[in-house]
Amino acid sequence: MAWLRGLLLPCVLRLASTELFAPATTYQTRELLQELFEFSAPDAGLSAKSRALCQAVSGSSEEKVLPGSDSREACSVTLFLSFEDALLHRGVVAYPKSRAALCVLQESNWLVGLYRRFAWCFQGRGRSTVQSKIQSRFQFERRCLQTTLTNLTPASRHNVQIKDGLDCWPAADETPRVLAAALRQPSRDLRAKVEAAISALNIYTFDVQQLRGEGLSTRQLRFAAEDMAYPITGGGRLLGSSAPLPRPHRGDVLQRLLGQLRRSSSSGLSNPEQQQQQQQQQQQPQQPQQQQQQQQKAPVYAELGIGEVFLSQWLVSQAAGFISEMHLIDTLQGDEQSLPWAVARMLEAGCWECEDVTAWKRHWPSATLCGPMGLRVHVHHATTSAVAAVMMQGYFDLVFIDADHSYDAVKRDIADWWPLVSPGGIMAGHDFSFKDPGTRKAVVESFSSGEVFLDSDAVWWTLK
């Protein structure tokens, strides 16, 4: 809902100069803002925490990290509810009430200033008729964004100065990398792409700082250096490439990750028996056709929790060539959900019934379907733990967790399925967001070392 004015000034010395974008309300709620800021009536006094954050730096208290006084004017910030509001300086007044809010001020303020520079550059296009005749809108947008990114310097990185040692997230080079990725993508409206990317970066900034406020370590979290957007999927449905101004969603993220897995040739089983078989095969002379088939083997994919089956359907129709085998696991406890219902949904997506009988039926109700480009789809009516217990270690190249979002369930799914991911494979999941605190906490605790990447559509992923 808000952005900071700070970047428009050569040096911001008072909190009153700051403006913020408020996180989008689609997946984030007002409760997130209320944990970081307070919204008091004009004649009301500030809380003790907010007053402490407004005190002078010269004090001995660790809380005294911002310059200014304890007056309301000195420590107010402006929250913008939209990009238009940021350009018109039209926002809502709020007051920081936690140390986590200080990093939000610093990072979101920088995003506001960056967006304004880009938007004003683009608006300046109309001032030159010659320029308008020579360059298309897209070419001019690209030049504006390139100029904005090129002119970023350490001096312009932060204009809201917070006492050294606060150690804010993210790292200074991560945001420019995301915007540079958006610049590389073809688009009919680059400005819309920039706005989507900045919105995603801003929402994650609020999210992660709030996690830090709970005492959780977030040093392992990174932005995926990709064209990014936050959830734009209505009712869980995934928009295809024919949608107007399509933005990356979780299906696009998985398709990209599957493509990376295939190109890196990381597919394969990791248990000793399979490794020995692979070594023996490598020692035997192979025909060129055999070598090509082995190199082109598509990854094996598992989806824990299929919901309304929208994602599974999208992958069959859009990414079948990236997957050789798909395992869909769900307890199917909805009012109308059942194994025949899930099978019917996959038949709608372009699968068909196979004549061979699957061996999974000896464990639980299941069905095996055939799909385009040699795809095999196994639908398991079972718990995620039950399926994990009978699978071979290292069997899957990509595991996507989107089942029970409670803390205990997500942590259990990660523990059960991580051994089943092949070396070089990927574990990913959905709903890394404030509205699902159990998911966020389980992910940051389970992967305290290494790197966890935050991607479009509230998707997180990590390499094994």
| pLDDT-derived band at 15, boundaries 50, 70, 90 | very low
Buried b (16+ CB within 10 A) or exposed e, 52-62: bbbbeeeeeee
Least confident of 63-72, 199-208, 378-387, 442-451: 63-72
pLDDT score at 1: 32
pLDDT band at 357 (very low <50, low <70, confident <90, very high): low
pLDDT at residue 290, as a whole number: 38
Rounded CA Rg of the chain: 25
Q: 388: which 2 tokens?
A: 């994990």
At 450 the pLDDT is 87
Asked if pLDDT for residue 70 goes beyond 50, the answer is no
Domains in the chain and their CATH numbers? 6-221 (no CATH), 234-463 (3.40.50.150)
The whole-number pLDDT of residue 279 equals 46
Q: Which residues contact 443 (CB under 8 A, 6 or more apart)?
A: 410, 414, 429, 432, 452, 460
Share of the chain above pLDDT 70, in %: 69
Q: Is the pLDDT of residue 325 over 80?
A: yes
Q: For the segment 253-270, what is each residue's pLDDT rounded down to a tens digit?
A: 999 999 999 887 543 444
Question: Mean pLDDT score of the chain, rounded to an integer?
Answer: 77
* Interacting residues of 51 by C-beta distance below 8 A, sequence separation 6+: 70
- Flag whether pLDDT at 41 surpasses 80: no
Which band of pLDDT confidence, cut at 50, 70 and 90, is reported for residue 97? confident
- 37-38 and 19-21 strand pairing: unpaired
**pLDDT band for position 305 (50/70/90)?**
very high
pTM: 0.83
pLDDT above 80: residue 54 = no
Segment 415-439, tens digit of pLDDT: 999 999 999 999 999 999 998 999 9
Is the pLDDT at 242 greater than 70? The verdict is: no
pLDDT at position 298 is 86
Residue 320 or 41, more confident: 320
**Mean of the pLDDT values across residues 170-195?**
84
The count of residues in the chain is 464
What is the mean predicted confidence (pLDDT) over 38-42? 68
Q: Name, of 18-27, 35-44, 256-265, 336-345, the range with top average pLDDT.
A: 336-345
For residue 270, the model assigns a pLDDT of: 40
User: Rounded CA gap, 289 and 165, in Å?
Assistant: 59
CB 109 within 8 A of CB 19: yes
> Is the distance from CB of 36 to CB of 79 less than 8 angstroms?
no
Mean pLDDT of 48-60: 49
Q: What is the pLDDT of residue 356?
A: 66
pLDDT confidence of residue 266? 43
Residue 174's φ and ψ, nearest 5 degrees, are: -75, -45
- Between 109 and 2, residue with greater pLDDT: 109
Q: What pLDDT, in 10s, does the model give residues 279-303?
A: 444 445 444 333 344 445 789 999 9
Q: How far apart are CA 414 and CA 208, in angstroms?
A: 20
233 or 249, which is more confident: 249
pLDDT of amino acid 311: 95
